[in-house]
Amino acid sequence: MDKLRNFLALTDLGRDGLESVLEDAMACKVSRGTGRGSKDLDGQTWALLFHKSSTRTRVSFEVGIHELGGHAMILDQGRMQTGRGESVEDTAKVLSRYIHGIIIRTYEHGFLESFAESGSIPVVNALSDALHPCQVLSDLLTLGERFGRPGNLLGALKGKKVAFYGDCSCNMAHSWILGAALSGIELTLCGPEEYGPKPFIQDYLDRAGLGGTWHFTSDPLLACQKADAIYTDVWVSMGSEAEEAARLKAFRPYQVNERIMAGTKDGIFLHCLPAHVGEEVSEAVFKSPASVVFDQAENRLHAQKAILSILGKSH
C-alpha cells in the first residue's frame, strides 16, 4: 500500500491496505485492556468536526484517540467561523497549523475533498452523504471474525454473498460496492428501481482499477437466496426527512424479516445502527441469534484505531 494520506473512501486503501488494516484492527481488539496496545497518537491532537449528530461515531473515535495516546478535540460547527462564511479552504490551512489530524462527519462529500486538498493534515471520512467507509471497514472486520481467523480475515471473505436491502442509493450501499470489490464478496443490492446506486460510484471503481462483483435486483426473495449475510439501513436518513412518507411506502416490501432470513444460507444479520425496528427490520430478526449488530458497533472502535494508527505514524 502506498502511504495513506487521507481516508475518504475504502479505495484509498487498496486490497493490500485493506488486508493490513483488518489484521491491525483485530490486533487492536485482542490487545485492548492488556497494556500492550500501540500509542501511535502519543502527543498528538486530533479534532472531530461533526455537521451531523452521532453516537457510535463520536464515542468510538474519542475513545480510540485516547487509547492511542492522543487528545481528542471536539469542534462545534455552530461556534466556528465556517458558520459565518469562512471558506473550508482557509479553515483547513489554519487548522493544519494547530492539529495533527481531523475526523469529519458531514453532508457534502466535496467538503471532505476540499479540506483534504487545502490542508496538510490527514482527513478521515466519518460519514458523508456519498460514502461511509469507517462503517463498512467495521462490517468487513465483523464478517472476517465470523468466517475467518486472524491472519486470514480478508481471504476468508472472497466468494461470500452479502445482500443489502432498502435504499441502494445511500452512502452505505455505495460503500458496500467498494468494499465488495476490494474483498471479493459477491454483493446483491435489493430495493426499488428508483433507489438504485448512483452513477458516481463507478468512477471510484474505475480509478481504483476494480470491476466489482455486484448486481441490483428489485426482487427481495431472489436477493436473499444462499446469502451469507443480510444487511440493511434506515429508510429515512438524515437530510431525507421531507421524503419520509414516500420512502416508507416504497421500501415496505424490502423489510428484512423472518421470510428473508429463511432464504439465506444460515445467514447473519447486519445493521449499521441506529435501527428503526419494525420498519427496515423486524423485531424478531433484530433480536435473533443471527443478529451481529452490536459486534459491528464494537468493531467500529478497533477498525478506526487501525486507520488512526496508520495516519498518526505519518507525523
Catalytic (active-site) positions: 105, 132, 135, 233, 272, 300
Residue 38's Cα: distance from chain center in Å? Answer: 23
159, 186 contact by CB (below 8 A): yes
**Cα 267 to Cα 53, 86, 281, distances in angstroms:** 31, 49, 15
Q: Say whether 187 sits in a helix, a strand or coil.
A: strand
- How far apart CA 96 and CA 94 sit, in angstroms, is 5
Nearest to 311 by CA among 102, 130, 117: 102
Secondary structure class of 281 (helix, strand, coil): strand
Please name the residue ranges forming H helices in 69-199: 88-95, 109-118, 133-147, 171-183
